[in-house]
Amino acid sequence: MNSAIAAAIEMPTHPVALIWSDEAPPGAIRFMPGRWGCVVNVFAAVATQARTGAFDRETFGCWGGGVGLGFGCQYENFPGGVEGFCRFLSNGNEHSEEGRSVAESLVSSSDRRITDDFVSGERYLKDPECTRRFLEILPICDIPARFVVIKPLEQADPEHDDIKSVTLFVDADRLSALVSLANYAYPRADSVFIPWGAGCQQMGIYSYRELEREHPRGVVGLTDLSARKNVRASLGKHVLSFTAPWPLFEEMERNVAGSFLKRPTWRALRS
């Protein structure tokens, strides 16, 4: 499917379609089972290289990625369980006897990637109680499909693919245009929102929840500092994500013709 939006805002990368599927496309980028990887890196590869990616309940890269893609509460499998994660995201496990014990096992294992953050904490939330409250409102779900597939939108077929959303990686001008276009037919002033969470969660489960609304909202993302660090080399330092649930994206596509995207103000910004 070719996108009128991508053409109108002169997208330098491919819009990324997220699809629920019971099959993985041949040649798709896949993580090895049990091996760490960043889901947002795969989104970036699809956007910049026109690759295809696929994830399932064994190959989601990290616990947050499993949650973000809709494969249940993978934080239960985090070192130290949910409580270990609550300390990891906040002020660390060094003050917990159980946490220190888990940290010792991490140091002695072959995977030391998360040891420092596990011990000292990522400090994205103030304390474990804040993390618990965050998990209570995070729209964790277990999707009724084996795979989450992401591919360039032009390679997707809305007649056959179960497209749930489309993500575009954009600069400030293009993001402004997408926010305006999302409000074009439903001027409620809140047709777009920025939830706090992991980058993959902003592109995944937050947009899934919007599908339950009569008028799904767009989700601005890539405000996750860790994800931004991971994709800086591929996407650059000035990029955010805009994820449109499929019904909203279709509406926005229909509204390109005759909109501000054909007027001098937009042309002046692009020049």
d(CA 128, CA 33): 29
Output the 3-class SS for 74-135: HHHHCCCHHHHHHHHHCCCCCCCHHHHHHHHHHHHCCCCCCHHHHHHCCCCCCCHHHHHHHH
pTM for the full predicted model: 0.94
d(CA 160, CA 72): 26
d(CA 68, CA 141): 9
Residue 117 pLDDT: 86
Domain positions in the chain: 11-65+142-270, 74-137
What are 271's two structure tokens? 């020049």
d(CA 149, CA 200): 13
Residue 196 pLDDT: 97
Residue 107 pLDDT: 66
Closest CA to 44 of 192, 176, 239, 218: 239
Cα 39 from chain centroid (whole Å): 8
Closest CA to 260 of 271, 249, 268, 250: 268
| Residue keyed to tokens 């300390």 | 87
One pLDDT digit (tens) per residue for the chain, 271 residues = 999 999 999 999 999 999 999 999 999 999 999 889 999 999 999 999 999 999 999 999 999 999 999 999 999 999 999 999 999 999 999 888 887 778 777 766 545 566 888 889 999 999 999 999 999 999 999 999 999 999 999 999 999 999 999 999 999 999 999 999 999 998 778 899 999 999 999 999 999 999 999 999 999 999 999 999 999 999 999 999 999 999 999 999 999 999 999 999 999 998 8
DSSP assigned state of 167: E
Backbone region of residue 157 per phi and psi (left: phi > 0; alpha: psi in -120 to 50; beta: other values)? beta
Residue 113 pLDDT: 60
d(CA 137, CA 129): 13
